[in-house]
Every structure is written in structure tokens, then in C-alpha cells.
Chains A and B, each alone.
Chain A
Amino acid sequence: MGFNMRYLELKRKIREVRMWAIQGIAEAGSGHPGASFSAAEIMGTLYFRRMRHDPKNHSWDERDYFINSKAHSAPGFYSTLAVAGYFPPEEIKTLRKLGSRLQGHPVRYSERQKHHSVPGIEYSGGSEGIGLSVGVGIALASRLDGKKNRVYVLIGDGESNEGQIWEASMAAAKFKLDNLVAVLDRNRVQQDGFTEDIMPLDPTKNKWEAFNWQVFEVDGHRVEQLMDALNKASQVKDKPVMIVANTVKGNGVRHMANNPQWHGKAPTKKQTPVLMEELESEFFIAPSIIAGEKENYEQKIKKAEREGVELIHLDVMDGRFVPNNTFLADTIKKLRPSTSLPFDAHLMIEKPIDHIDEYIDARCDIITVHAEACMEDEFAVIQERCLAAGISPGIAINPETDVPKWLYPHLPDLDVVIVMSVNPGFAGQKFIPETLPKMVAVSKELREHGFNGYIEADGGIDATTLQSVYDAGARIFVAGNAVYGNADIHSAMIQLRHKAAVTLEKKLLEHATRLGIRYDWMKVRKHILIPYASELGIEEELNAIK
């Protein structure tokens, strides 16, 4: 068995993992936030989507193995296991304390070690550079037993200094272990500084290729890219697979990101709530490809991809639910191979129940239907089909529509609610400001009734309106004209991200101020705040901080 989580569910769970990890580290007063965060998506994608495993039966004979060679990422690893259901997440707050099951570095679980470990941990790490060899051993044994399982080994770039990594690499190639997949958390930072200063690893990909591995390189914070590589890995024959996952150490907390100082340092307990808010504020920019000049959709997708957008928003219009026509499932199906970016399909169509299978078949990652276009029983079927297919279900409401009461029982499994800030049907409309208080109210109402998903703001979102919808609780921003309406998409994206950053920094600073730690926060955050100082009006204050 496994989890096969939906895209947005996966993102949410990984967010939870980071939140637990930071709480554990803060409680312990030591630990490694950097490595926990750089590997969060890698571990999350494996545990919540890819691997066959069963938290209720951790020694299941057919399970896939996960060997965490870079064991100092323990807080992230423990949190991943806890969120997966191996033990109660609250226990993470005992991390590194005397008597805890959560040792500074994870210990293989066994009857003998049950007081110092938790089920699900296969390998005792802590000394670097060993786990890949252990993975080789497990892969050899699994093959000998004719098992169909796979062995995943997470290694670090710092630990790649160890010669044993390369001994294991040669052995895996010699034995043609195509049931072995290594993932390199390439965050480029080790304890003393940047890897390329301490002991250069580049050209990383070439090295592994020269060692006769099949190598895929991905952005290690993009679960869709990780999934893509993992899927490809399962097709490789007679060779072990290395996925070079380019990551940012400390990713998720801006002042920790790519900062060697945070390799093994804990935040203060007082700052934890602010860090939690930052993690909760993770957002997605979803350009709508119907906006802007009429050009090839594929090209628009490519452009967006180069700008590092999180989602591709697909406005499906049938000329009946809305007066306009755009494209239908067949077009999405054709576009699907052009990118690994998740497809956020917004169906502005009549009777979505009659067409839902076409959109599932087109491999959308999120499918949102309009509340105005379906009855409760129809929506129930739509949601069920999406869930069964591992697709995030969503519902959209027009500016004048309230959250239908019949939606309440379906909220716990709903991943998206689009709160329209224009009346759907055309690109390029003006944002309706009255939808802002509505978004706040809707957000509150939904959370009260068990909604854990994301609020998506759609309609007239640009650099001017982004701040208000972000503040109002939206985390997915559909940007149409704000992206494709510009000749220079790159500048447009920078502007949007800048706006989002300013909004976030303002929010967090206010939070820190409420907690009475404004000075400490500004001090730890100084290098991040500098570019926004004038917009936040904190130039003098910031200059005064040594």
C-alpha cells in the first residue's frame, strides 16, 4: 500500500512536516533545520506519494525501503514519518531530549531499540557517507528474494565528500541494481560553508554518469519534478538511478535559506509562531494561459515554466456556462506532455458531472468545478472520482454566490475553493473589491467546517491586488493579464513575487511585534528585510540593528 496523495494534499502535508520540524528543533534547542527543509519535498514525495509502505505494518515484507543517509535531517525525517502516521506528531517536541524515542540521529527500530526509536526507521545513521552502501545491500537482498520493491536512499552533498559514497556507487553499478534509487539533496551547503568552497562536487551529474548510473536532475522542491523523475526511474533497466535534486538548504524560512549559519542552529522558541506563520504562508502563482496575446498555449506554458511558476491555470469555458469558449479536455490532453507543472483546471462548463472523466483522463492535477453548475449529489460524485484518481478536487464560487451549505460535509477532502473576484467568462476583467471581505468571511466559514485546503484568488489579480488577497487568506493566485499581458513576462513575475514578499514580510513583522520580539526578528531577518525596508518604512530601524 501507499498514500498516493493528491498534489495539493501533498503540498499541505509537506508544509505540516516543516512546521513540526521547526517546533521540534526549537523545543530541543538544537538540530538541523537546513537539511530538514532542503529534503522536505524529497521525503514528502517519497512517503506521501511514491513509496509502498504501511505505517500500521512497518515491517511489511513487500515494502519499499527508505534509507536516510544524511541522518542529520532527522527533524524533517521524524516529522515526515509522524505525518505519515508512524507515530503521533506531538512527540516531535521531545526531539533530542533525555528519554525521547527521537534521538538526535535516527536509530533503526527494533524490539531492543524501541525506547530510542520509532517504527519505520530502517537504518541507524549519524556517521556520514554510509547509507548508500546499506541501500546496496538491501537492494541485493531484495533482488535475491525476487521482490518487486524498491530501495530509496537519500544522500547529502556534504556527505558526498566521503569516499564510501563512491565505493557504494561503483558497487551499485557493478551489480546493475535497477531497484535502487538514490536522491542527492544538492543544497550546496555543508557545516563549514558552501560545498564548492569546502570540497567541490560539481560537475555532479557527470560524475554519477561516469560511475555508470542513470541520472535525472530536478528542482528538489518541486514535487511534480520529483514524481516525474521517480516515474522515469522505475523504467530504467540494469542501472541504478541517481536523482540530483537541486535544493535550497533551509528552504521555507527565508532567513535560513541558503545560509550556512542555519546548518545546525535552532530558532528561539519565541520566534517559532512567526516561523509557523511564514510556513503557512507558502503560496502558488498560477498563470492563466488564456490571457494576453493569442499565441500557442504550449509556448505560454514554456515561458511560465522558465519563470518558475508553481501551477498552470487552465480556464476551461464551454460557451454555455459562460458566454465565451476557450478549450476543453482534448486540448489539455495535448498540452499535458509539454510540462511537468501541475495543471490547475478551472471548469467553467455546464453539467461538469457529464465531463469529469475527460478531465481526469487528461491528467489534470487540480479540477475545480463551479458551485453554480452542480447539485450536491453531482458534486459528491465529482469529488469522489477526483479523489479516486489522485486528483485535487476544488469548487469555485462566483462573486455573488455564497458557500453552499451542502458543501460542508465535503470540505475535509476538498483541496481548493476558488473565490472569484470577477464574474467568470473573460480574461482581463477588473478586480471587484467587495470580494475581499467575502474572501475573509468565506475562509473563516470554510475552516470552521473542516476545510484544510487552499483558497484560490481568481480574477484581476496583479501586483496591486495581490497583497489584499494574500492578506485575506488566499494562497493560490491566478494571474492572467498580470503575466501574459506584459511583453516582458520576466519583469511581471518579479513584480508579483516582490509584492508577495513585501506582504509576507509585513505580516511577519507585525506578528513579531505583537509577540514583543520585533527587534530580535528584525535582527535575525535583517539580510532579508533590506530590499523591502523602504516599502515597509523600517529603514532607520533596520540600520540601527548591528
Chain B
Amino acid sequence: MLLSSEKKTADMRGAYGDALVELGKSDPRVVCVGGDTTDSLKTKKFGDKFPDRMFNVGIAEANLVSIAAGLSIAGKVAFASTYAAFIPGRAVDQIRNTICYPALNVKLVVSHGGLTVGPDGASHQQIEDLSTMRAIPNMRVIIPADAVAVKHLIKTIADTPGPFYMRLARPTTELIYSESAPAEQFTIGKGNVLTDGSDATIIACGLMVGKALEAAALLKREHGLSVRVVDMFTIKPIDTELVAKCAKETGAIVTAEEHNIIGGLGSAVSETAGETCPVPIKRVGVRDTFGESARDEEVDALLEQYGLTATEIAKSVIETRSRVR
């Protein structure tokens, strides 16, 4: 069974910390570098279990990722973790030249991506990372939809040589996937069709996958539309085959991401569809503007203000379908 049948929440960071500990047990090469956020990232769990394999380098992200590069040069599988605002935010050059150019075995796993970082405000709301990371050769970009996906994908990226960027969200979220979902469902470069449909496709990633499912239900209920929902957790390499197939079979695509509409999932899907099977597309995301603070209990209102809701996705599906010739 792929999808979770019960309402259950879990946090991605906790899943990451647990997965890292499991990895540490089975693979002595696994090490982790943190930047004064190890408690928050839950990498502290790994550090408690393997104190000599955890390196906290303080608030110095350029140094952090470069040390991870050095560890990988000497044969380690190096996880580097802090908030998305700072990795990649403060270390794009090091990620490009030191890690991606030589395709080092470094896994950048960061949290607090997108608008949902809470009250910290725009400085901490990383909405450009998918774009910057996607544009660097050799980099692969992953954005899991929930804690179950995190658990599987952390293992996969550890076992796959080369650099990865994985972005986690801060909030505890409802599980999309069943805890018994098979590992094969989380293959790099393969999107998951969560619900099938023939009138349009919503391709989403991260937290927006849940909203996409809500939107599909809403469209079915209120408009009788049959909408396909895809969890495109690999932004790069994008699942070209699936995008083309959805374009061909449903004729309209809406993308949904907690990211600027420039350069992220929406761009990747548009590029791919444009080159394979051009259809009307609408990108739901942050419309090239900075975010703002919101208390945790105001997060839904924040997302609503920036158009990252099921309603907005549903509206976009209708609008996109209207452009189908």
C-alpha cells in the first residue's frame, strides 16, 4: 500500500536523524558535519550514538560543506546539515567548485526550506535553493513529501555515489505515504503517481504534495474532475518520461512547490513538457517575492497569503484547463 490510510503526523527532521543513526550502524563510512543546529536538525542523535563521527563546526557554512568535501575525498560518506537558508544560501560557491565539480560523495541534507520556517521571517525562508542547486552540473536535488519518504530517500542517497541536495521542511506534517510503503517507491529520478486522473495533472513536491492531494479531492467533489497527482520528489534528474506521459494523457499541468516559481519544480516541469509534449502549464509557488514572519499557528494563513494552498492549486487547474485547445 502506497498511501497512508490514517491521519498521522511525523516530522521529517526526526526521520532524518533516525535514518542517519541506522545508516551509521550499517555503514562505518557515514559521518556528519553540523553547524550549530545539530539539535534542530536531529543530527545530534547521530552524534550521540557516534561521537567520533560527528563534527560540529559552528556557524560557518562555507567551512562546513568544504570539510564535508574533505571527508569524502578521504573515503567517507559525508552528510552536511544545517538550515536551507545557509546551505546552500551561504555556500553556493563551495558546493559548486569543491563538491559538484569533482562529484564528491557529499550529501547536503537541510531543513527549514520554503516559507514554513516559522517566525524567523524572509531571511530564513529559503525559496531559491531548488533553482541554484538544480543549475549546478552533477548535483541531484531531492525534496521529500513526508517523513516516510525521508527515511527511504536518506538511505538511497547514502548508497548512491555523488553529491545530493535534499531539502526538508520544518513543520510536523501529515504522512502522505503509508509507513509500509515499499522502498522501491522511492527511486531517484522517478516520480510517484499518487492518484490517477485524466483531466489534468498536479505535479508537486515537498509539503505541497499534501495540498495537491487536497486540491484533487476538491476538484473531484466540486467540479467532477479527474485529476492526477504526482509526487515529484526528485527535482533533478526530473522524471522526463512521467512528465511527458502526464502532459500527453491529461493535457494540462499545474505544478506546486514551496519555492519561488522561478527555477524550481515548475521550471523543471515546464522545460521538460516544452521539449516533449507542450501543454498549458501553471506554476503554483511563491511569485518571485520575499516572504515574512508568521507564528507557528499562523502558518496556514501565511501560505494562503502567498498562494500556496489547495484552493489556489484547484483554481489553477481550472484556469489551465481553460487554455487547452
Q: Using a CB–CB distance below 8 Å, which chain A residues touch chain B?
A: 65, 67, 107-108, 110, 112-113, 122-127, 130, 133-142, 144-145, 163-164, 167-168, 170-171, 174-175
Q: Does B224 contact A (CB under 8 A)?
A: no
Docked-complex contact A124 and B66, CB < 8 angstroms: no
Q: How far is the CA of A110 from the CA of B162 in the complex (A)?
A: 12
Q: Give B46-93 interface residues, CB cut-off 8 Å to A.
A: 52-53, 55, 57-58, 60, 62-63, 66-76, 78, 93
Picked from A124, A133, A174, the residue with its CB within 8 Å of the CB of B70 is A133
- Please name all residues of chain B whose beta carbon is closer than 8 Å to the beta carbon of A170 when the two chains form the complex: 58, 60
Docked-complex contact A130 and B62, CB < 8 angstroms: yes
Q: Does B98 contact A (CB under 8 A)?
A: yes
CB distance from A121 to the nearest CB of B (A): 9
- Please name all residues of chain B whose beta carbon is closer than 8 Å to the beta carbon of A144 when the two chains form the complex: 31, 52-53, 76
Q: Does B102 contact A (CB under 8 A)?
A: yes
CB distance from A356 to the nearest CB of B (A): 43
Residue of A at shortest CB range from B72? Answer: A137
Q: How far is the CA of A183 from the CA of B57 in the complex (A)?
A: 22
Docked-complex contact B73 and A108, CB < 8 angstroms: yes
Q: How far is the CA of A514 from the CA of B165 in the complex (A)?
A: 61
Q: Does B97 contact A (CB under 8 A)?
A: yes
- Please name all residues of chain A whose beta carbon is closer than 8 Å to the beta carbon of B94 when the two chains form the complex: 127, 130, 133, 164
Q: Does B290 contact A (CB under 8 A)?
A: no
Docked-complex contact B57 and A171, CB < 8 angstroms: yes
Docked-complex contact A124 and B98, CB < 8 angstroms: yes
Given contacts A133-B67, A141-B73, 10 further A-B contacts (CB under 8 A): A112-B103, A127-B97, A133-B62, A133-B66, A134-B98, A138-B74, A140-B67, A164-B94, A167-B60, A171-B57
Q: How far is the CA of A137 from the CA of B63 in the complex (A)?
A: 10
Knowing A110-B103, A126-B97, A133-B63, say if A140 contacts B55 (CB, 8 Å): yes
- Please name all residues of chain A whose beta carbon is closer than 8 Å to the beta carbon of B76 when the two chains form the complex: 141, 144
Residue of A at shortest CB range from B103? Answer: A112
Q: How far is the CA of A134 from the CA of B76 in the complex (A)?
A: 13
Docked-complex contact B102 and A108, CB < 8 angstroms: yes
Closest 6 CB pairs of A and B: A137-B70, A133-B66, A141-B74, A108-B102, A167-B63, A167-B60
Residue of B at shortest CB range from A122? Answer: B73
- Please name all residues of chain B whose beta carbon is closer than 8 Å to the beta carbon of A171 when the two chains form the complex: 57-58, 60, 63, 67
Residue of B at shortest CB range from A162? Answer: B62
Picked from A112, A124, A141, A174, the residue with its CB within 8 Å of the CB of B71 is A141
- Please name all residues of chain A whose beta carbon is closer than 8 Å to the beta carbon of B66 when the two chains form the complex: 130, 133-134, 136-137, 164, 168
Docked-complex contact A124 and B97, CB < 8 angstroms: yes
17 contacts between A and B (CB under 8 A): A108-B102, A133-B69, A133-B70, A134-B66, A137-B66, A137-B67, A137-B71, A138-B70, A140-B31, A141-B71, A144-B52, A145-B75, A164-B60, A164-B63, A167-B57, A167-B62, A175-B55
Q: How far is the CA of A101 from the CA of B259 in the complex (A)?
A: 39
Docked-complex contact A138 and B73, CB < 8 angstroms: yes
- Please name all residues of chain B whose beta carbon is closer than 8 Å to the beta carbon of A138 when the two chains form the complex: 70-71, 73-74
- Please name all residues of chain A whose beta carbon is closer than 8 Å to the beta carbon of B75 when the two chains form the complex: 141, 145
Q: How far is the CA of A108 from the CA of B163 in the complex (A)?
A: 15
Docked-complex contact B73 and A123, CB < 8 angstroms: yes
Q: How far is the CA of A167 from the CA of B94 in the complex (A)?
A: 14
Residue of A at shortest CB range from B102? Answer: A108
- Please name all residues of chain B whose beta carbon is closer than 8 Å to the beta carbon of A164 when the two chains form the complex: 60, 62-63, 66, 94
Residue of B at shortest CB range from A117? Answer: B102
Docked-complex contact B93 and A142, CB < 8 angstroms: no
- Please name all residues of chain A whose beta carbon is closer than 8 Å to the beta carbon of B102 when the two chains form the complex: 107-108, 110, 113, 123-124
Q: How far is the CA of A137 from the CA of B64 in the complex (A)?
A: 9
Q: How far is the CA of A134 from the CA of B98 in the complex (A)?
A: 8
- Please name all residues of chain A whose beta carbon is closer than 8 Å to the beta carbon of B33 when the two chains form the complex: 137
Docked-complex contact B68 and A137, CB < 8 angstroms: yes
- Please name all residues of chain A whose beta carbon is closer than 8 Å to the beta carbon of B62 when the two chains form the complex: 130, 133, 163-164, 167
- Please name all residues of chain B whose beta carbon is closer than 8 Å to the beta carbon of A136 when the two chains form the complex: 63, 66-67, 70
Q: How far is the CA of A137 from the CA of B93 in the complex (A)?
A: 17
Residue of A at shortest CB range from B75? Answer: A141
Q: How far is the CA of A112 from the CA of B75 in the complex (A)?
A: 17
CB distance from A44 to the nearest CB of B (A): 23
Q: How far is the CA of A124 from the CA of B97 in the complex (A)?
A: 7
Q: How far is the CA of A145 from the CA of B55 in the complex (A)?
A: 15
Q: How far is the CA of A144 from the CA of B77 in the complex (A)?
A: 13
Knowing A144-B53, A171-B67, say if A137 contacts B73 (CB, 8 Å): yes
Knowing A127-B97, A133-B63, say if A140 contacts B57 (CB, 8 Å): no
CB distance from A155 to the nearest CB of B (A): 13
CB distance from B209 to the nearest CB of A (A): 33
Q: How far is the CA of A65 from the CA of B97 in the complex (A)?
A: 19
Q: Give B175-234 interface residues, CB cut-off 8 Å to A.
A: none
Q: How far is the CA of A113 from the CA of B76 in the complex (A)?
A: 20
CB distance from A151 to the nearest CB of B (A): 8
Q: How far is the CA of A142 from the CA of B71 in the complex (A)?
A: 8
Docked-complex contact B70 and A135, CB < 8 angstroms: yes
Q: How far is the CA of A135 from the CA of B69 in the complex (A)?
A: 9
Q: How far is the CA of A510 from the CA of B248 in the complex (A)?
A: 78
Residue of A at shortest CB range from B29? Answer: A141
- Please name all residues of chain A whose beta carbon is closer than 8 Å to the beta carbon of B72 when the two chains form the complex: 137
- Please name all residues of chain B whose beta carbon is closer than 8 Å to the beta carbon of A130 when the two chains form the complex: 62, 66, 93-94, 97-98
Q: How far is the CA of A174 from the CA of B98 in the complex (A)?
A: 23
Knowing A133-B63, A141-B75, A164-B62, say if A127 contacts B70 (CB, 8 Å): no
